[in-house]
Structure 1
């Protein structure tokens, strides 16, 4: 079961909703994550803090709220980086909020560009000895309320191993009740980026055991159809980001994740091309797989999505598009018989189209 689906009660003040003044085309957001809180019949959409929207400077997390997925309340800040009390200085990426043991937990990716990590050697195509590696990873912060404030459980380090350059950690609770953090191991460090998992302690404050490899970016065989041949262009490294897990009705485990297709590695070391929303399925229902790769669900600069149930019962996908100056897009989706996912329609009545 997805931790986001295991919704518990929230505090009373979460039910108090100011007048909605925004719709999705007017709402800057990247890496959206929605909690559908049934106790207050309110959707909470979390994203990185945008100062022009909140008036609050610095790294943090903000939340928009809505009763109907169309009309949204101006955002409020639920987490800010505690100055001088935490290892990180930048980031605030990919915030997610999950219910665990009667509290809400924020998973958010931070980094510190002044704390370098060893640079990997170039591979056979010359990628990418000059690219920077520095401390990056997801932390966990806790609150009694969906509106925060969220306080880091361990401000001294990210949750995954400190020597790994990682991002986009998410919570998954397996069938035995064991909590895991599933995260992306950066292509900047791996060249062929991976999705990995590590067991969490029952209070989410520490990890247990070694990371477990789930799959690598190049396992999506369709990517090879779209990458320029190395004889004509420097080969693209394989990007993995945005994992989110959801249990299919038949017991299969589905993982949304995002990558780049039809790409090239730009001269400045950035990745160019088409950001896409894709997925993988563990038909065994186990986090450890084996994982089989589906084909992209949405293209055209779309990705870092997550699944949730609307209050009227539809299975919904929210993602951002385009990659730069992103806005939220909503789709109704359905599971296929094999545990895979298909798009039914874009909800242009909610997200304004585009």
Structure 2
């Protein structure tokens, strides 16, 4: 299964490399239905100040909508420093937008494919890390802040998200499974203005702790190695939860865990079963401008060896003690 996952990751990289070019000319289109957009790892922010929805994800581009149904874009909004460790043309994965203390922050994974940091089990690891950019506006441009590095240079990290606990900001992110062969979800405290990190990261849980994610290895069923797309939330009862994505054999799948202590430090208890249909994952939760809770995910379909990833919305219920995923939402 490990070889199969490596093959799948290679196909993903080959299939989407063109979207990462920061020099590619963009053609902005209007009135594009959500299911006509090709986008991995969709993240939507409902901005009350502008009465608009903004959607980003993998590729460093952004879409705008007034109603979640028809979208305008794409716009190039990320402006990383070409003289930094990211290089002149970094790949950008799983970008998120978060409003905090009057500014908008762009959490994303940046990869410099020209810098190799390690070789593990025959796999060459590129310089990849989570980083944060900032803007005064939800549609950018998003530019660097004070610290040039948020996480260790010799440790590939990905899929950063944001959480505040006891009035302190944190970055939640994944440790690359290709390095440790057992992916992690970790936290690290951020500076008050999010311009850098404080201290070291701490592992919250590992891929092997999940009862639902699995693969076959040497004819045996074993836990899957991948952690992907964490997103933290609270139910109406105050219970702290986290959705995250992995694989069930060759099927991209999302599950959920809950913190027994109600804090990021956990311990995190993994639910037994996935919460989304097969081949949907990398989810996040948001409230519409009218206050309705939705989950954004992407569908994950292989066509002739190439992945087709499309954003989708699902209704969710947070009124009880658990996250309940409902029917697809049609704006």
Q: TM-score, normalised by structure 2?
A: 0.83
What is the deviation of 1:236? 6.9
What is the deviation of 1:253? 1.2
CA distance in 1: counterparts of 2:85 and 2:139, whole angstroms? 21
* Residue segments in structure 2 that go unaligned for 5+ positions in a row: 1-27, 302-306
Aligned to 2:258: 281
What is the deviation of 1:171? 1.2
Is the partner of 1:117 in helix, strand or coil? strand
Aligned to 1:69: 68
Work out which of the residue numbers 149, 162, 171 in structure 2 matches 1:171.
Answer: 162
CA distance in 1: counterparts of 2:51 and 2:67, whole angstroms? 9
Is the partner of 1:171 in helix, strand or coil? strand
The correspondence of residues 308-327 of structure 1 with structure 2, limited to 5 A, is: 308-322=286-300, 324-327=307-310
What is the deviation of 1:81? 3.9
Contact 2:29 2:74 in 1 (8 A): no
What is the deviation of 1:19? 9.1
Aligned to 1:344: 326
Is the partner of 1:133 in helix, strand or coil? strand
Work out which of the residue numbers 246, 249, 252 in structure 2 matches 1:259.
Answer: 246
What is the deviation of 1:156? 3.4
What is the deviation of 1:170? 0.9
The correspondence of residues 135-154 of structure 1 with structure 2, limited to 5 A, is: 135-154=127-146
Work out which of the residue numbers 11, 32, 40 in structure 1 matches 2:42.
Answer: 32
Q: Provide Cα deviations, 1:150-183, integer angstroms capped at 9, x if missing partner.
A: 10115733x2222211101111111x11111100
Aligned to 1:307: 285
* Residue segments in structure 1 that go unaligned for 5+ positions in a row: 1-17, 50-60, 121-128, 263-272
4+ residue segments displaced more than 6 Å = none
Is the partner of 2:82 in helix, strand or coil? coil
Aligned to 1:335: 318
Q: Provide Cα deviations, 1:233-252, integer angstroms capped at 9, x if missing partner.
A: 69675100111111221111
Structure 1 residues 154 and 236, CA gap change in structure 2 (3 angstroms): farther
CA distance in 1: counterparts of 2:139 and 2:320, whole angstroms? 38
CA distance in 2: counterparts of 1:205 and 1:134, whole angstroms? 24
What is the deviation of 1:289? 0.7
CA distance in 2: counterparts of 1:74 and 1:183, whole angstroms? 28
What is the deviation of 1:255? 0.9
Q: Provide Cα deviations, 1:204-235, integer angstroms capped at 9, x if missing partner.
A: 222212211100011111224xx22x342696
CA distance in 2: counterparts of 1:167 and 1:231, whole angstroms? 28
The correspondence of residues 67-146 of structure 1 with structure 2, limited to 5 A, is: 67-88=66-87, 89-120=89-120, 129-146=121-138
Aligned to 1:211: 201
Calculate the aligned-residue CA RMSD, in Å.
2.1
CA distance in 1: counterparts of 2:285 and 2:134, whole angstroms? 22
Aligned to 1:232: 219
CA distance in 2: counterparts of 1:302 and 1:166, whole angstroms? 22
Contact 1:20 1:66 in 2 (8 A): no
Structure 1 residues 27 and 292, CA gap change in structure 2 (3 angstroms): same
CA distance in 1: counterparts of 2:209 and 2:220, whole angstroms? 21
Aligned to 1:290: 267
CA distance in 2: counterparts of 1:100 and 1:37, whole angstroms? 12
Higher strand share: 2
Contact 2:65 2:72 in 1 (8 A): yes
Is the partner of 1:151 in helix, strand or coil? coil
Is the partner of 2:298 in helix, strand or coil? strand
- Count of matched residue pairs: 297
Contact 1:138 1:167 in 2 (8 A): yes
